[in-house]
Structure 1
Amino acid sequence: MERRVHFISGLPRSGSTLLAALLSQNPRFQAGMSGPLGGAFNTLLGELSDRNEYSVFISDAQRQRMLRSLFDAYYGPEYGAEVVFDTNRAWCNKLPQLKTLFPQGKVIACVRHVSWIIDSVEQLVRKNAFRPSSIFNYQSGGTVYSRAEGLANGEGLVGYAYNALKEAFYGDDTANLMLLRYETLVSNPARAIAAVYNFIGEKPHAHDVDNISYQADEFDLRAGTPGLHTVRRKVEARERTSVLPPDVFHRFENDMFWLDPALNPRGVLVV
């Protein structure tokens, strides 16, 4: 069986785990939280580069087969799914490679108001006040200001993903790219899921947005961040007040470039 492979990427705390949990209700699909393939892909790509003294023996065709084989090996016969969605923030800056390896593969990038992403992480930090998080290298010091700065810098959890998203959005390989807004996913999940199915060319499936099941408690505990991948049973928008100081919140409020059609020269689909 030739599996179809698609990718979930985009910004953290923007609905990727929720989207995967919904998609996994379809028995033909395999989807989950961020996994190891993105890191393995990057590592293998580096090892096959010219820094390897034996690279003279490695052709581009061999590189492509070896990179493709990562997916074949990881999603072995025990999965049994016809369609696989692999989740990783790294996929947004790998569109040229993915286009070659998976010509029919689609990339669904989850996005969200950046201020609320920072707020969501800060809420987790405060909720787990006695468990320093891997997000901040288990450091127990710092303030909301230093944490926001660390998240937003180019190597931070949010900054890296944001820059990778812009690389994808403004690059040459946008035909297979779709941006899915968190705000759409939680306020109108039926519309969001229908758009995903239409984008990947699959027949619709009945999804139960009132009864979602997904667990990653062991991973979250090991990361020192219980609740990091918690998915509520029912999909719904929830109004609340931000825990961020106003100046921190306002710092990121104009970063949603995907909302402005004038900043979308390639006509990337935004749902």
Structure 2
Amino acid sequence: MQGDIHFISGLPRAGSTLLSAILRQNPRFRAGMTGPVGSLVDGMLRSMSMSNETAIFISDEQRRELVKAIFSTYYADLPKGHVVFDTNRNWCARLPLVTELFPRAKVICCVRHIPWILDSVERLIRRNKYQPSGIFNFEPSGTVYSRVDGLAGPNGMVGFAWNALREAFCSEQSACLLALTYETLTTQPERAIAAVYEFIGEKPFAHDFQNIEFDAEEFDRRIGTPGLHKVGRRVESPGRKTVLPGDLWRKYENDAFWSDPARNPNQVRVV
């Protein structure tokens, strides 16, 4: 790769698309919603594992170069001196691999109060009442309780990301992490973006927080969840009441471990 690479990871519905929409205003930056690189890396690792009888002929050095080739091929058109931010919630669970391949890379972890994440998904489901969502395998049945259980399970959209984030916070590679809260990004965008620039070692850029552009309408339509990646034109904090039943809210309201110094043993910076 001719340019530099950093990663956006963390929790779903926590501002990663908004962050990318802001960063891409900088003509030297490339950023977007979750892309295919993470799944391509997982597919390559699986294909080179011992589940493939011919994998005995592949050395670890070859495995490393093949995985790195996914990045260099996918971002082959990145001009020299430019910066790419690859988004995938899986990167928090792949820190040993990421930091070996790209020692200078930083990982921006978008985080948000867990009940509001669950609330955000539930609102999308209720808004698109005539379109079953791919988030729940296009199954039209279910209740808010079954949907939240599915999201928060170990392999669920929220549960997996939350576990991966906890793993990253406690890992030997945690120095490459910056936790960016949804609350700061939406109420103090100038402070949030300044912290990102400082963390990755880039010179400040004058972003326009009143004119944000991002369109993934076709992608969202194909997974039966219109609005999943919709970003409002202005950066603002949504003021609203939750649609979650009280018992569900209380079940997850203490899960924001990043805000508790006792649960952040490596002192990952939180903005």
Same-fold call, TM cutoff 0.5 = yes
* Cα deviation code 1:176-214 (max 9, x no counterpart): 111110001001000000000011111111100110000
User: Which letter maps to 1:181?
Assistant: T
SS at match of 2:141: coil
- Cα drift, residue 51 of structure 1: 2.4
Q: Distance in 2 between matches of 1:143 and 1:264?
A: 34
Partner residue, 2:260: 260
> Which runs of structure 2 are paired with 1:9-48 in the superposition (5 Å)?
9-48=9-48
Partner residue, 1:154: 154
Q: Distance in 1 between matches of 2:142 and 2:79?
A: 46
Which consecutive aligned stretches of 4+ in structure 1 deviate over 6 angstroms post-superposition?
Answer: none
SS at match of 1:50: coil
SS at match of 2:85: strand
Q: Distance in 2 between matches of 1:50 and 1:128?
A: 43
> Which runs of structure 2 are paired with 1:201-220 in the superposition (5 Å)?
201-220=201-220
Unaligned 5+ segments in structure 2 are none
Partner residue, 2:248: 248
Partner residue, 2:68: 68
Q: Distance in 2 between matches of 1:76 and 1:117?
A: 35
- Cα drift, residue 263 of structure 1: 1.4
Partner residue, 1:90: 90
Partner residue, 2:129: 129
Q: Distance in 1 between matches of 2:120 and 2:2?
A: 39
* Cα deviation code 1:100-135 (max 9, x no counterpart): 000001111100000000000000000000000000
How many pairs does the alignment contain? Answer: 270
User: Which letter maps to 1:94?
Assistant: R
User: Which letter maps to 1:37?
Assistant: V
* Cα deviation code 1:212-268 (max 9, x no counterpart): 000000000001000000000000112100011111111110000000112111111
- Of 12-21 and 56-65, deviating more is 56-65
Alignment RMSD (CA, Å): 1.0
- Cα drift, residue 56 of structure 1: 2.6
> Which runs of structure 2 are paired with 1:95-244 in the superposition (5 Å)?
95-244=95-244
SS at match of 1:179: strand
Q: Structure 2 length normalisation: TM-score?
A: 0.97
- Cα drift, residue 80 of structure 1: 3.5
Q: Distance in 2 between matches of 1:147 and 1:262?
A: 31
Is the 2:187–2:236 Cα contact (8 Å) retained in structure 1? yes
User: Which letter maps to 1:97?
Assistant: L
- Of 160-169 and 51-60, deviating more is 51-60
Unaligned 5+ segments in structure 1 are none
SS at match of 1:110: strand
- Cα drift, residue 174 of structure 1: 0.5
Is the 2:14–2:110 Cα contact (8 Å) retained in structure 1? yes
Q: Structure 1 length normalisation: TM-score?
A: 0.97
Partner residue, 2:54: 54
Q: Distance in 2 between matches of 1:201 and 1:50?
A: 40
